[in-house]
Chain A
Amino acid sequence: MTKAACLLVAALGLGGCAHHNTLYAWGGYDGLLYQSYKDPTKTAVLLTKLETHVLALEQGGAKVAPGLYAEVGTLYLQIGKADKATVYYTKERDAWPESRPLMDTLIAHVGDRKPVAPKAAMPAASTATEVKS
């Protein structure tokens, strides 16, 4: 009886250890993104699930993984919701100092409806634009 209890505790303990090996809870981010690339109609699912996931983490006081807030922001921007995009870009900026330059630029341009890169450091891809037009 006690032996079984010990084994059970050991098993639970190991399970706990395995869980603590990851720094963040990702909420199926990679699979959802993969599905949305495979079938763009799944992009709405990606947005809903990712937003639900980050809000649940916030409520539980857990750290949200790098990039997740910003991904939600961009998905909102792509459906024309600039206010929501600003909210999520701001959350990313406040959570991760490394994201500040990019987030500040994205926030400054949400009114443009689409993300704009910070000051043109790279030459514009003129050949690609010509091919497209």
Chain B
Amino acid sequence: MSLPSLAEVEHSDWPSLQRMCETLGLNPKGRSAIVRMRVADYVRHRAHPPSWRPAREHQAALLTRLGHPDLAERVWESTIQLEAPAPRVGLGHAQLAGGFLAEAAKSFARAAQMGDASGELHRAEALAAGGDYQGAATACETYLATHARDLRALLMKSSFLARSGFEEEANKVLHTAAELHPEVALIRRTLGLALLRTGHHAAAADALQEAVHRDPKDVDAVVGRGAALLLAGRTREAIGVLREALEIDPKRADALNNLGVAYRAMGRTKSAAVNLERAAKHRESPRILLNLGKVLEEAHEPAEAVRAYEQVLKLRPKDSEAVAGRKRVGVSAKARRTPRKRVASPRKAAPTTRRKTTPSSEATTS
């Protein structure tokens, strides 16, 4: 015989209640509220208790995730034992979620002292959340002293070092991680992109080449390699790689932009303009639009160039490059726009001093 649920009992009408009483062998007589209570009592006392009930630790962890760190903190505090580091870690996370960063760091440090080495990694997160990236990197180092191969710790340390301004050191840590874990393709890509950001273009191209070798469909790595080659001056190779990237994902705005810049460097202005226009269609970025403006200038399309510069000024009203570009080509564009119908009164033609401009296009590295 299956029991009705408490919700059914609570919401059933009088005939259903009586039927329930009949089925369960209960007295069906009396005021409806009393009969309902009788059935509910029966169900409550006979229904199987749930096989799993959350312990205080589970409740505390759930409270943190549900966005009640203050309540979670209190529950974690009640679970703290003399020799167990886990509640300290949980407490630290609740404090971290509540914005009490110093307290969180202390709780994690206490967990680490009690023997849970991962406490140091949690402490690193708390310190980083407070902006102390150097402290965070040091905490990672403490953890790595006993867990030298730990990938998470290595990546965290590298990230904290980079954020505290020690980019070369961050790259070294990534190198170590890549050597210790050659099976993880992602590290090569991360290393390549980090090298690209720090200006080591040739090394970046090599690292990204390895990442692509492991996973040829890794479009981020391919695009990054294209940018690295372009910045390293290997333009022809860059064009090939960027075209490969666009075969994988034809809508990658950064690849289209870089390809445009590469074509321009090769003197193929028309191809450059086509790719930059496509890039601008996919992503309205000031950098792409500036590149497009410069290429259009070179292609002797001043009106289009002015339009590109004006688009940049809509996004960044005081962009100096766009202002200069518009000023540079503004007059001739206006001249082209004004129809020749109007007969101008004869005036002395002013000598036009053609300014020699070589607008530099820039590749985007990310």
Are A and B co-members of a single complex? no
**Which B residues lie at the A interface, using CB under 8 A?**
none
**Which A residues lie at the B interface, using CB under 8 A?**
none
